[in-house]
Chain A
Amino acid sequence: MAEAVKVLPREIQDLMEVREWDMRTREGVNRFRELKAKSLPSIALDEQLCYESLIPGQEELAEEIRRRWGLKNG
């Protein structure tokens, strides 16, 4: 799932800040529970769980990030 984010085009990468959580650690597990996620891998955007287990296509993920960025920045 992290790979799906890393391969996004540069202009999308510039719109966001990415944080990866390691489920081997207590910090990662606590974050997973905070987000109320159930399965792995998961992607949250703006503190909201958006994708679980199914890795979104590059276009779908890029579109969702653009949409959210548009909502926040007019």
Chain B
Amino acid sequence: MNSTTEGHRYIYRTQGVCPPEIHFEIADGILREVHFRGGGCPGNAQLVCRLIRDRSVEEVRPFLKEIQCQNQTSCPAELDRALEAALKGTLLPAQSFRIAADLWTKNRVALVGNLAGRLDVWETLRGDLKEKKVEAVYCLGNQTEPSVENGPLLKALRKDKRVMTIQGEEDWRYTRESETGPQENLNPKEIDYLKSMAQVLSFQLGAKKGLVFYGSFIQDLPGYSDYEPFALEMNLVANLTQFMEDESVFPALEAMIPQFTSGIVIFGQRKEWGRWQVGGVDFISVGSSYEDGGLSWGLLTFADAQLHFEVQSFPWTGKGEHGK
């Protein structure tokens, strides 16, 4: 067993069969998970996956070979090819978006958007958040802004245990550029913090499962698959509804909602506050924390078996200097 294939998740793009992708995981030479995604016979595929899960790759492969269904191949034969490619190293482990989970059920969370390097804005908001007794703060990107000294804000966010940060497009660009030459001397801890930020955050608010992501840059990440967890929600919000701007396609959105795994979908790319309820799902657009002489954040609560959302706004002139 080639050690480079151990403990990794793979996505194999099939040819000639109904499911366009096979997702699987190999750890210590054992097949931990196998899923045929996007088509085919779901019952048969599920049975095959159960039968071969937790067995060694070497034990499984002889059963998969030389089965023909259509186009001189089959789902098992494609899986065999995928396993062979993983063993040889011609199929590399999948590196899609980073998912983090807020493990504890909450009832009262704050949504903060686009701090863009502004420590002064964060410090003012933090006081208000403390007063309103929120249990967690979901900070959607962008946390950074190219023309601003970002270190102080990143340090403050990193040290606040209630804060969970979600990477924005600028933040992602920033981490890429920092590999070729940083725009400023960020502390290595802050660089690591920026690089390890979740790109998708899942959470539980009362009885509802939720998902937070910034925007469409996630779909351009190498290794992104339409069949990843939460990819359906992101695809329909970003591509179908154009971040809920095109209400004419809401009937199609509603038709797809039974396939959602999240009852709350939160995004930041639109940079303006908004809430839509379609097919029992709450869609929330998070606005910029600072705009036109005022600050704002969103209070999301679960009470009386219902989700409540309010934008908290107040006037603020600030210190006038970014990141100080």
Contact = CB atoms under 8 A, between A and B. Distances in A.
Say whether A and B bind each other: yes
A30 B249 CA distance: 12
Contact of A53 (B231, B235, B251): B251
A22 B39 CA distance: 9
B269 to A, nearest CB: 16
A54 interface: no
Contacts of A22: 38-39
Range for the number of chain B residues in contact with chain A: 10 to 19
Given A32-B240, A33-B240, A26 B226 contact: yes
A38 B235 contact: no
Contacts of A40: 251-252, 255-256
A28 B226 CA distance: 11
A25 interface: yes
Nearest to A22: B38
Interface in A23-71: 23-26, 29-30, 32-33, 37-41, 53
A42 B248 CA distance: 15
B251 A30 contact: no
Interface of B: 20, 38-39, 219, 226-227, 231-232, 235-236, 239-240, 248-249, 251-252, 255-256, 259
Interface of A: 22-26, 29-30, 32-33, 37-41, 53
12 contacts: A23-B252, A24-B231, A24-B235, A26-B226, A29-B240, A32-B249, A33-B240, A33-B249, A37-B249, A37-B252, A38-B249, A38-B252
